[in-house]
Amino acid sequence: MDKIKKAAGEITGVHIETIDLDESFIDFSARFAAMAGTTVLLSGGDLDCARYHILGAKPWLTFTGSNRKMTLTAADQTFEVNADPFDTLRWIIDSFRLHDLGLDPSGLPQPLAAGLFGYLSYDLKDVLENLPRTSVDDLRLPHICFFAPSIIVVHDKSTDSTRLCILERNLAGQSSLDDDLNFFKQTLATEPLAKGSFSGEAAGFKSNFKKPNYLAAVETIREYIAAGDVYQVNMSQRFEMDFEGDTYNLFTKLYANNPAPFFAYINAGDHQLVSTSPERFLLQTGDRIETRPIKGTRPRGKTPAQDEQLGRELQQSKKDDAELSMIVDLMRNDIGKVCKAGSVRVAEHKRLEAYQNVYHLVSIVEGILDRDRDTVDLLKATFPGGSITGCPKIRTMEIIDELEPHRRHIYTGSIGYISFHDTMDLSIAIRTAAIYNNKIIFSVGGGIVFDSDPLDEYEETIHKGRTLMEVFMGKEKKSSKKSYAWINGSLEPQEQAVIPIADLGLQYGYGFFETIRVDNGNPKHLDAHIDRFYQTWQHLFAEEPPDLTWHEIIHQVVEKNGLLNTIAAIKIMVTMGDRQAPPYNHTLIVTARPYTHRLTDKQEPGLNLALYPHPRQTPLADHKTLNYLYYYLAGKWAKGQNAGEALILNPDNTVSETNTANILLIKDKTVIRPTSLHVLPGIMEAVVCRLLSVWDYKVEQRAVKPEDLFAVDEVLVTNSLLGVVPVLSLDGKKLPIPSDLWQKINDEVL
């Protein structure tokens, strides 16, 4: 840890100055939004918890981690630490605490002058409790992520004043202040960045629950409640869709539409978070603690009279009152673990708060932190917030994991700041989206009690998600369209293709496929492909293949996918199913996709090979089985070597093929086909050899060693999509310069 402190530098003070902004805070912050580590916290509306706008930028320390694998980065040095995330968080806070400098926190600008900005994901719960992990973590994002910004700007809405705070650090005998101050001034002096557009799929958000399944999950929770397991469970569904564009512009649009008290934007580098939360999780000011749980939701009315009625209905609802009271008791108990005896009280109960799309019921619970307790103790006692788990907390988290298919990540975690001088403000991360690898993902949920109506609960999640969903209306990608497949005799959306889990094709790769090039609706060498497909069918399935008019099926699939006037790659796949006698339950699928030749837009007129270090021999190599993992991994390995293909060897280290193509060696007027005990006979390879025979080439088959590739005139690879492509090198060593033979062949066969 000493190395980390040395890399981060020694804190010597805080530079504070009042600044004037000539633009709105959200536009001012846009100048920093594209920089990794930037956090923007906006307080929308005029509620008493919505006072400050805060920017944190240019981090001097980054802290991320999952489970016990923590990563800290300072001064371009990265440190891996095996530690508890909360212990690591405490170490950071204690190591850079401003009290140790003799600074009086009361003299620092409120609410913070230095500290950490970021998030704690809901999945951090697994560090605090021994819980079953039965849902899938498909995102693999950090469970904890915090940045210590060099630059903090705080705008106080109540006084309309703005302060700049820059932490002064001693780095190798030099102060960091001048560099950070110059960086800030230079950023302000640049022209404001133009707002980029953003868009989503035309089909809109897709849930990880089908509606009947969500209703069934609510019923399961009601059964748990009836059995006495729990009193209430927060149940959610996750939505996602493709996303393109400017994530900060998405943030600004959402803020303009619905300025809630705890808006947040975090640029974490490889992912961004956009939060429109109305709920405070924890506020700390010295030893004073506050939490504001929300329970109870109603949509806003379309007319003033209807709006007033819905608000009054929520206030008078016995169910919502019971839910809120239950969570208030839970939160009183949680903060009571670390607060002075007798200091915890409910300052306000069941306050009606109005937002753009919904009404909420809110309570305020306060306490005084015990003298021997700190910020991290408070977090560990209360995380995750009870308003978004249920009661009792541990059992409800078990049920959430059981019923929700995916890990929540940021949803119902917390976002905000933790200062180095005993202040903290964290929201509950609801109405919060993660944008990652061209996907936008967010979840919405509600508290389920015994009296809950499943359909009402489902509709409530839709109301809550409307703010995020509606901002994409009119911003759909125009090019977005469905892909269709022929599945057991029917044309269906490809996303609806289903293979039963008992299918031996899924369990063992018991199946096979054929890939066919189609030019402007014309399948190339179709008869040869179908012959090979049927030979494999008879060999592997030991039955007669189906009687199908393949050119008509392929035409239907190509036409349905709008590929009649271009080059397409058709794939025919079949799985065994789990029946060994009629009626069989094979799954037979035909798909189509646009095909772009591998040399398109490439500067080099051929492929480079890399010698795969794992020879293979299996009788299954005689067929194009679905057990294709070896070849897939070989191709992936080749890309890692900056090569286009992997050269596959036989067990005796002679050449067999590449991971997608057959290989031919040309010497004088002879075509050499490598001998391999088990290798898929190539359709295009046979076509090329027949053509070269017509051109008076002699075709022979013999064992070939890798070094033989350097002793011939040229080396070619062939498959049905590529046609013929020359090989330029092997393991970085150049092969003989190819002639134009490959182009002449392609003119004939493609």
3-state secondary structure 7-66: HHCEEEEEEEEEECCCCCHHHHHHCCCCCCCCEEEECCCCCCCCCEEEEEEEEEEEEEEE
Catalytic option among 201, 240, 279, 404:
279
Six-digit token string for 546: 């189906």
CA atoms of 25 and 41, how far apart (whole Å): 10
pLDDT of residue 24: 93
Catalytic option among 58, 125, 295, 350:
295
Domain 2-470 has CATH 3.90.1150.10: no
CA atoms of 694 and 206, how far apart (whole Å): 56
pLDDT of residue 47: 84
3-state secondary structure 536-562: HHHHHHCCCCCCCCHHHHHHHHHHHCC
Taking CA atoms, 420 is separated from 43, 49, 339, 692, in Å, by 22, 21, 20, 76
Beta-carbon count within 10 A of 219 CB: 13
Active site residue 223: no
Whether the upstream peptide bond of residue 674 has omega within 30° of 0, thus cis, is no
CA atoms of 522 and 524, how far apart (whole Å): 6
Instruction: State residue 328 phi and psi, 5-degree precision.
Output: -60, -45
Do residues 328 and 363 touch, judged by C-beta distance below 8 A?
A: yes
Contacts of 133 (CB under 8 A, 6+ apart): 126, 401
List the chain residues with pLDDT less than 70. 100-106, 202, 477-480
Do residues 483 and 494 touch, judged by C-beta distance below 8 A?
A: yes
DSSP line for 184-195: HHHHHHSPPPPP
CA atoms of 526 and 68, how far apart (whole Å): 55
* DSSP H/E element including 151: strand 144-156
> What amino acid occupies position 582?
P
Do residues 733 and 706 touch, judged by C-beta distance below 8 A?
A: no
Residue with tokens 């030099």: 174
Beta-carbon count within 10 A of 608 CB: 20
DSSP tag of 286: T
Q: Exposed, middle or buried by CB within 10 Å (0-12, 13-18, 19+), for 407?
A: buried
pLDDT of residue 417: 98
Do residues 275 and 262 touch, judged by C-beta distance below 8 A?
A: yes
Active site residue 279: yes
DSSP tag of 669: T
Residue with tokens 């300052």: 347
pLDDT of residue 204: 85
pLDDT of residue 497: 86
Nearest to 145 by CA among 247, 248, 37: 37
Residue with tokens 């670390």: 338
pLDDT of residue 2: 84
Whether the upstream peptide bond of residue 493 has omega within 30° of 0, thus cis, is no
CATH superfamily of domain region 607-749:
D-amino Acid Aminotransferase, subunit A, domain 2 (3.20.10.10)
Do residues 73 and 116 touch, judged by C-beta distance below 8 A?
A: no
pLDDT of residue 479: 52
Q: Domain coordinates of the chain in residue numbers?
A: 2-470, 484-594, 607-749
Do residues 15 and 168 touch, judged by C-beta distance below 8 A?
A: yes
DSSP E strand boundaries for 462-614:
484-487, 490-493, 511-519, 522-523, 567-575, 587-594, 607-611
Taking CA atoms, 166 is separated from 176, 352, 418, in Å, by 9, 39, 16
Single pTM value for the model: 0.82
CA atoms of 624 and 130, how far apart (whole Å): 46
* Architecture of the structural domain at 484-594: 2-Layer Sandwich (3.30)
Nearest to 621 by CA among 683, 679, 663, 538: 679
At CA 475, angle to CA 474 and CA 478, rounded to 5?
100
